[in-house]
Amino acid sequence: MNDDRKPTLRIGIDLGGTKTEAIALDRDSGAELDRLRVATARGDYDGTVATIRDLVLGLESRLGRGGSVGVGIPGTISAKTGLVKNANSTWLIGRPFDRDLATALARPVRLANDADCFALSESTDGAGQGAAIVFGVILGTGVGGGVVVHGRLLAGANAIAGEWGHNPLPWPQADEIPGHMCYCGKAGCIETFLSGPGLERQHGHGLRVPEIIVLAERGDDLAEGVLARYEDRLARALAGVINIVDPQVIVLGGGVGNMARLYRNVPRLWGEYVFSDTVETKLLPPTHGDSSGVRGAAWLW
C-alpha cells in the first residue's frame, strides 16, 4: 500500500481449499465495492502468500484506494509458537503465515479462523446485528464456531474459542456411545455427528446431504428419520452452548446449515436441554450466505 493512499478500504481474504476470495468493503459504510476470486495455490506455501498479495494489490489498484487486510484461514495461529496450527490446508501448518503476509504487503495483517470470520460478519451487519452475544456455527465438512461479544471476536487464551465441534455430544443415547473416531484423536465428537459426512454416514446408502433432504421431502421414512435425529442432536449440542454462553442469536452456516427445516424444528427441541424455563435465543440463517467468511475477514480490523 503506497503511503499516499489513505486506508479507506477493509479488504478481506477467505483462503479456502479450492478457491481464494477477496473482497473490498468501504471502511465506513461496509458496502461491498469489489470482489475477486482465484484458484488456491494448493500445497504451495510461497504461492499462497503471493496469491493473497496479488489479490490485495489488485483490489487497491482497481479502486485507487488502500486498505487494511484481514485473512480467514481453516486453522488458527498458535498462542505458544505464533505459527499456524489445526489447519485443513496442511501446507500452512507450522508457518508464520501472518508475518509472511505482513512482509509481502508491507503492513500489518490480521488472521482468524474462518468460522470466527463467519461469526464476526453475521454479528456486524448480518443476522446477529445488534445482538450482544452471537454464536456463529459452521456445519459443513467439519463443524466449527465462533463467538462475538459486543461486536468483538472472542479469541481466548488458546485461540480456540468456539471450537464446540470437538466436545462430546451432550446427553448421548446408548447407541451414540462411544461414537465414531474423530480426526482429532477422540471418539464421539460433535463434529462426527453433525458434519455433512456424519449425516451422510448416518443414512448409510452413499447419498449426499441434498439427496437425503429431497428424499425426506418426498416422504421417505429412512431419510426423514435420519434428519429428525440430526435435529435432536443439533438441539442437544446447541443447548450446551446456550447453557454456557447464552447468546441472543445463533447463526448457522455451511452446507448443512442451508436446511430450512433446521430453523423450524431445532428451537422446538432445545428447550428440553436448556437450563431455563424459557429459551429466548434465536436460531437464524446467515444474511450474507457463503460471503460471510470473506466479509468477516474484512471486519477483523
DSSP letter for each residue of 215-276? HHHTT-HHHHHHHHHHHHHHHHHHHHHHHHH--SEEEEESSGGG-HHHHHHHHHHGGGTSSS
Q: For the chain, list residues with pLDDT below 50.
A: 1-5
- 77 with 138, same domain: the answer is no
d(CA 227, CA 222): 9
Number of domains in the chain: 2
Torsion angle in degrees (nearest 10) through CA of 113, 118, 119, 122:
160
Q: What is the CATH number of the domain that holds 100?
A: 3.30.420.40
Can you give the pLDDT at residue 2? Answer: 44
The answer to whether residue 122 is domain-embedded is no
The answer to whether residue 125 is domain-embedded is no
The answer to whether residue 55 is domain-embedded is yes
The answer to whether residue 1 is domain-embedded is no
The answer to whether residue 98 is domain-embedded is yes
The answer to whether residue 2 is domain-embedded is no
Can you give the pLDDT at residue 3? Answer: 44
- 170 with 198, same domain: the answer is yes
- 239 with 188, same domain: the answer is yes
Give every CB contact of residue 124 below 8 A, 6+ residues apart in sequence. Answer: 30, 151, 295, 296, 299
- 134 with 238, same domain: the answer is yes
The answer to whether residue 52 is domain-embedded is yes
- 165 with 102, same domain: the answer is no
**Peptide bond connecting 178 to the previous residue in cis, omega within 30 degrees of 0:** yes
Q: What is the pLDDT of residues 170-196, one digit of tens each?
A: 999 999 999 999 988 899 999 999 999
Can you give the pLDDT at residue 177? Answer: 96
- 158 with 103, same domain: the answer is no
| pTM for the whole structure | 0.85
Strand 109-113 with 66-73, pairing:
parallel
- 191 with 60, same domain: the answer is no
- 203 with 260, same domain: the answer is yes
Domain boundaries, position 45: 7-117+291-298
Can you give the pLDDT at residue 16? Answer: 82
- 105 with 150, same domain: the answer is no
Give every CB contact of residue 91 below 8 A, 6+ residues apart in sequence. Answer: 42, 43, 44, 45, 48
- 172 with 104, same domain: the answer is no
- For residue 58, count CB atoms less than 10 angstroms from its CB and return exposed for 0-12, middle for 13-18, buried for 19 or more: middle
Candidates 160, 165, 144; CA nearest to 85 is: 160
- 153 with 183, same domain: the answer is yes
- Cα–Cα distance list, 89 to 19, 94, 118, 140 (Å): 12, 11, 18, 16
Which three cell numbers mark 12? 478481506
Can you give the pLDDT at residue 142? Answer: 84
- 22 with 90, same domain: the answer is yes
Length of the chain: 301
The answer to whether residue 13 is domain-embedded is yes
